[in-house]
């Protein structure tokens, strides 16, 4: 077995912040997330020879992390939530007022998404992956990722009571105006 190169090791170290962010997004738990990252690093180290230099290391690592996450969930006998779960019933978040959506509320809403939707919207909307890369990471079709992202977005809007159209609407603007002279 060839030694792990310095470059690989440096890149591995450099991707830890992203891996942790993705792991927290998946597990919704900081301790579990760090254990997951640790497992991922060990696995990546062991199979470093299967990584093709010049390809996307981050995507490769995310794939390992994701596989590890789902295999741990299966081991624990926990059913992987599917998209048609009963999540929408739990609408505990207040409506977003004048676009002032609290990060805590957002986190709560994200938590209510089924795993497959949550990971899709994180990979696409936050981690900076393309739909093609996300599909590869999740081992599914590009169209599947697209539909999961779309469902995730719709569901987040429902939970947070954001209407789909207010992004360019008068609300966003008027809240800026009223928000600035609240004295």
Footprint of another protein (CB under 8 A): 1, 3-4, 9, 12-13, 16-18, 20-21, 24-25, 34, 37-38, 41-42, 45, 96, 99, 101, 103, 106-107, 110, 121-122, 124-130, 149-150, 153, 156-157, 160, 162, 166-168
Two structure tokens written together for 33: 């997330």
Q: What is the closest distance, in whole angstroms, from the C-beta atom of residue 94 to another protein in the complex?
A: 15
Which C-beta is closer to another protein: that of 17 or that of 139? 17
Q: What is the closest distance, in whole angstroms, from the C-beta atom of residue 161 to another protein in the complex?
A: 11
Which C-beta is closer to another protein: that of 50 or that of 183? 50
Q: CB under 8 Å to 109, separation ≥6 — which residues?
A: 93, 156, 159, 160
Q: What is the closest distance, in whole angstroms, from the C-beta atom of residue 162 to another protein in the complex?
A: 5
Which C-beta is closer to another protein: that of 5 or that of 71? 5
Which C-beta is closer to another protein: that of 2 or that of 182? 2
Q: What is the closest distance, in whole angstroms, from the C-beta atom of residue 1 to another protein in the complex?
A: 7
Instruction: Give a three-class secondary structure readout of the chain.
Output: CCCCCHHHHHHHHHCHHHHHHHHHHHHCCHHHHHHHHHHHHHHHHHCHHHCCCCCCHHHHHHHHHHHHHHHHHHHCCCCCCCCCCCHHHCCCCCCCCCCCCCHHHHHHHHHCCCHHHHHHHHHHHCCCCCHHHHHHHHCCCHHHHHHHHHHHHHHHHHHCCCCCCCCCCHHHHHHHHHHHCCC
Q: What is the closest distance, in whole angstroms, from the C-beta atom of residue 79 to another protein in the complex?
A: 26
Which C-beta is closer to another protein: that of 74 or that of 138? 138
Q: What is the closest distance, in whole angstroms, from the C-beta atom of residue 145 to another protein in the complex?
A: 12
Which C-beta is closer to another protein: that of 74 or that of 173? 173
Two structure tokens written together for 96: 């977003």
């Amino acid at each position: 077995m060839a030694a792990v190169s310095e470059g690989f090791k440096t890149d591995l170290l450099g991707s830890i912040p992203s891996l942790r962010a993705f792991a927290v997004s998946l597990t919704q738990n900081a301790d579990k997330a760090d254990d997951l990252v640790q497992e991922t690093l060990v696995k990546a180290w062991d199979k470093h020879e299967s990584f093709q230099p010049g390809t996307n290391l981050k995507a490769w690592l995310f794939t390992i992390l994701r596989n590890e996450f789902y295999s741990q969930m299966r081991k624990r006998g926990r059913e992987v939530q599917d998209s048609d779960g009963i999540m929408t019933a739990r609408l505990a978040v207040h409506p977003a007022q004048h676009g002032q959506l609290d990060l805590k509320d957002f986190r709560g809403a994200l938590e209510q998404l089924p795993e497959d939707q949550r990971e899709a919207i994180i990979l696409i909307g936050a981690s900076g992956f393309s739909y093609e890369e996300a599909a590869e990471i999740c081992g599914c079709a590009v169209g599947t990722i697209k539909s999961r992202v779309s469902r995730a977005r719709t569901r987040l809007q429902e939970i947070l009571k954001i209407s789909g159209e207010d992004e360019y609407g008068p609300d966003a603007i008027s809240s800026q105006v009223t928000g600035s002279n609240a004295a």
